[in-house]
């Protein structure tokens, strides 16, 4: 019996890896019937360049930009006012937002959630209300999409959508694996699960996962309260060249060299079949920057060719058969 399939796009670092750009490229292929956002909420920020226009989305899946029916899954949390503002923003570009669907059991962010989140001074949250909303979800005191009359035209049952007939889905993740609430650097994490397991919580079964596409940058970035960036003027250059500022908050991202141990661990935990390494063109513009950490030791490569060769070798030894693709900023 035929079944639906799902390809999953996940960040393997601390978010901001370029997942939105990769998902946008894949959606443009015409291969998928639906695009699904499976975790997070308005704390995500996906920057996409389409026909020369810079478009930033926070909640709406990228399929809407290509006329593909798209779903905000039940693993997400939704600020309804921000959602309608984003739909209006996309409509100004000429996109048909009527093809958006929302899982009827997705949870709703209230003003009380936002007010509570705004008091954070420890974690470095985006203050969008996600954490308190997820807390109320698991405390079984939350408000769900099907309880909000304004969302009625968008509602969908995930089981019926996925399992009533075979379809092809692209699942678009938010944040990155090292911000996962269970496996990240707790408490400096997001409030949701960010790995491939989160996809299954949106109604898919494990047999339907066809490919897992891991996305990283060729250096590391982090936005939050913990100290991450070391004192090195090259990091300041990378920030300006790579425009390393948060798409949601505008905060400058802290920068360090690529941590290959973290990348390999994330790939193992998520069963990655393809690894895409972004922003090679940014690293080319900074002298002596072909560096990475392995076994907590900084490895400095003489040139790009050595850097690429080493990445292939190190990843291939642990994850044989994983396809690796190096590319630029995708502007």
Q: Which residues are catalytic?
A: 16, 46
Residue 187: asked if its preceding bond is cis (omega within 30°), the reply is: yes
As a whole number of angstroms, the distance between CA 15 and CA 249 comes to 13
As a whole number of angstroms, the distance between CA 290 and CA 305 comes to 9
CA dihedral 272, 274, 280, 281 (to 10 degrees): -140
Report DSSP state, residue 253.
P
Q: For residues 10 and 270, is the Cβ–Cβ distance under 8 A?
A: yes
Instruction: DSSP for 205-240, please give it.
Output: -GGGEEEEEEEEESEEEE-SSS----S-HHHHHHHH
Helices (H), the chain: 19-27, 80-92, 111-117, 130-138, 158-163, 196-200, 233-242, 260-270, 280-283, 304-318
Structure token pair of residue 218: 């060729």
């Amino acid at each position: 019996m035929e079944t639906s399939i799902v390809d999953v796009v996940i960040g393997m670092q601390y978010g901001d890896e370029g997942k939105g750009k990769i998902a946008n490229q894949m959606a443009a292929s015409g291969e998928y019937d639906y695009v699904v956002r499976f975790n997070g909420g308005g704390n995500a920020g996906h920057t996409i360049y389409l026909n020369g226009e810079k478009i930033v989305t926070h909640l709406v899946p990228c399929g809407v930009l290509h006329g593909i029916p798209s779903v905000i899954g039940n693993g997400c949390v939704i600020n309804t006012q921000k959602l309608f503002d984003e739909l209006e923003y996309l409509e100004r570009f000429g996109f048909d937002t009527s093809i958006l669907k929302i899982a009827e059991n997705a949870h709703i962010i209230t003003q009380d959630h936002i007010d509570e989140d705004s008091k954070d001074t420890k974690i470095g949250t985006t203050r969008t209300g996600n954490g308190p909303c997820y807390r109320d979800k698991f405390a079984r005191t939350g408000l769900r999409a099907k309880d909000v009359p304004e969302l009625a035209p968008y509602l969908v049952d995930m089981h019926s959508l996925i399992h009533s007939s075979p379809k092809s889905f692209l699942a678009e993740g938010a944040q990155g694996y090292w911000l996962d609430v269970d496996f990240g650097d707790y408490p400096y994490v997001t409030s949701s699960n960010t790995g491939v397991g989160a996809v299954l919580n949106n109604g898919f079964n494990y047999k339907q996962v066809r490919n897992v596409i891991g996305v990283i940058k060729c250096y590391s970035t982090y936005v939050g309260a913990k100290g991450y960036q070391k004192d090195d003027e090259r990091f300041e250059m990378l920030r300006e060249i790579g425009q390393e500022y948060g798409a949601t908050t505008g905060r400058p991202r802290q920068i360090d060299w690529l941590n290959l141990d973290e990348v390999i661990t994330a790939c193992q935990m998520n069963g990655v079949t393809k690894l895409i390494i972004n922003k090679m063109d940014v690293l080319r513009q900074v002298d002596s920057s072909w560096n990475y950490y392995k076994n907590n030791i900084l490895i400095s490569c003489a040139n790009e060719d050595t850097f690429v060769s080493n990445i292939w070798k190190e990843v291939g030894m642990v994850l044989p058969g994983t396809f690796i693709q190096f590319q630029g900023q995708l502007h």
